[in-house]
Structure 1
Amino acid sequence: MEALQSLPSAPSLAACACHPEQSRGRRHPQERAPTRSEFQRDRDRIVHSTAFRRLVYKTQVFLNHEGDLFRTRLTHSIEVAQLGRSIARSLRLNEDLVEAVSLAHDLGHTPFGHAGQDALNDCMKDYGGFEHNLQSLRVVDTLEERYPDYDGLNLTFETREGILKHCSRRNAELMEQREPGGIGWRFLHGGQPSLEAQLCNLADEIAYNAHDVDDGVRSGLIRIEQLCDVPLFERYRLQALAAFPHLQAPCEQRRLLNETIRRMLSDQVYDVIAATSRALAAHAPASVDDVRRQPAMVAFTPAMRAESLQLKQFLFRELYRHEQVMHTMGLAQQVVHELFALYFAKPVEMPAAQAAQAMGGDEMKRARVVSDFIAGMTDRYAVREHERLTGKRLLAT
């Protein structure tokens, strides 16, 4: 039998990438795994977490009951990981770290997407507020219960740094008190995260725009004809029609949309690779610590950045603020507000573990326990709990 040709090996990491053997480690020291790098280990812990499984029933724009083909937080996270790994490989960054951060970045998102987040933040305004990004870190640091001798998933510094994309100064100061020189430090002193973390942030934006166009058209709330006024979309629609004229037929509009989005995604990936390569050549960071002291380097070109912003503005105006979406999100916010008030007043309505925690502290502690419980809910569980407690069925499940 003819010998199989070996596959090409992965490119070596750039000096400025995150090297797993140089990781700043975990909060609870552990021996290294014999067959996996530290970042592969992080990814595996995330995939096996309870919070990751819940993402399949957490919404993006359309609530879970509104259709089987719309994106969920889980499918969005997988798409971010795919885009991130594609870019990371070309830039010789650490693909495993990019994947770990991508899969974990939405673990703290509430049910009902940004509407749920805004409602929960309003409920928590007197108790420290609610930041979904900080909640993702809280999930992996504290709320997951998988190990006998510590809370959380005990992820590496680099993965935790990537998860925490945004943070208020007040929360950064609290984090710095608990963990001096840790992941809150850069929000106080103006540093940057690793290139892998920067890449996940941009891949998240690219994935959002593309799949919200797809889901928006699929839902019927926006039409391809409307998107023709958006330069970023129209350029690739015309390219698709030039290559495949038969896609002009009404019965081929789904294929036309898919081909347009595919081309748009590909060009954005190539644009990021080109722009970031130029930035790396100009700044020449020799290590990940150099990266943290430099300006952000993972970026679009100015032209692509401007066009991406135009698309985002279109989606905000025509999809996120569409009357139907706003009506549904208003009901979703009512569910969150009423659940918070009910659990806060009567913690015994929560499962025994949460009830015990809520009744064992002051109002600040009680509010945070209730917030954690609601933030962890899926869309359908929140709707069912609300119906159980109020007798009202505001949303389908």
Structure 2
Amino acid sequence: MDTQVLIIGAGPTGLTLALDLHRRGVPFRIVDAAPAPFTGSRGKGLQPRSLEVFHDLGVADSVVEAGTFDMMLRAYKGREVLREWNPHEGRVPTEDRPYAHTLMIPQSSIERILRDALPRGVEYAMPLTSFTQDDSGVTAVVGGQTVRAKYLVGCDGGKSFVRKHLGVSFLGETHDDVQMLVGDVRLSGLDRDHWHMFGRDRQDFVALCPLPGTDLFQFQASGGGEPSPELYQRIIRERTGLDDVVLHEVTWMSLYRLNIRMIDRFRVGGVFLAGDAAHVHSPAGAQGMNTGIQDAYNLGWKLGMETLLDTYETERKPVAEWLLGISTKIMSSSDPFARRDEETMQLLLSYRTTEGEGLQAGDRMPDGRTDAGRIFDLLRGPDFVTLDLPDGPILVRPDGYVAAIGRSAIDAYFGANPVTQLHHRRVAARRAA
């Protein structure tokens, strides 16, 4: 084998997976067809659950420093401010939920931080052109090189070559009548303390959001057409009604068409699909990039231990179904910014197989303070952790979800999955008063 895992695509999903494999000491290569890193914003909202993932991976502080939690929204009619509000007003960090709400940060900044944390860099200008499988692994041709790997993971976006080559169905629908122009622009005439929105309906809407850590704004406008600086300037002029809002440069631009689709299989032999390669949807609610990050987080430890790999599809497929439903619901709402709650922040996502009150197996393990330290710090690392608490032990998976509660349930879990016990440590702790 040339490597254990070959990752196709170096967006947030692929980079999260690479960083998780790195800390496990799992050999990997990460390749991307693009000649250089993506520099646009695309996604710009990082949800609290993804920040918890990044805390475990050791990059949360850098990510938070590069973004902002404080972004006021402002709606206009010309120069008249119709409304100014904070969609996260009243949300503050708590002991069990240390990240209170969405962090605004351009996708390119997240990717840069994840790349910087990897000792082995991304191999760019390395398109995947073919692959085959046999009983012992995958043979792929990337950038004209033949690479042999035990596993291949397609994190290569909505137009995924991996998905198409596998022949996996991408079920759903395309709405050609729902289009949006997006891009990153430099302009003058607007402050950088607000997300500025003009237009009263979906036909004449334009939004300009300052991107933290840059001198750019993200441009979003309803409607179609061939993206160009001239078109973007005309839309800004016509829809804001402000002559002094002047576009100076467009650094990235794209036309978005609404696709609501997901795959019917997340695994075919030794090949897995994650992120946009597995599910695409409305951008409303800032869910897509976050779901891809958590796809990778779910898959990483299973690839590292080479156990429970079939549960990747079992656990992530229902999440993808939820994702398509919630993002479509938010998009069709009269006020897409009104829906900002624990569900959209992805803190309530669970892998439960049974119902019950209180914390259950499959739930996200909440943070908290103990005499041995902060729970999230005690869990940090690539292992299963048994927290020996005064009211009984809790076994927590490497991705921060509860595996079992109580000694007999923990023994049964390890009995059913003996490999996991080789990656296990125990911590005695008492919750702080």
**TM-score, normalisation: structure 2:** 0.22
Structure having the higher strand fraction is 2
Structure with larger RCO (C-alpha < 8 A, sep 6+): 1
**TM-score, normalisation: structure 1:** 0.24
Structure having the higher helix fraction is 1
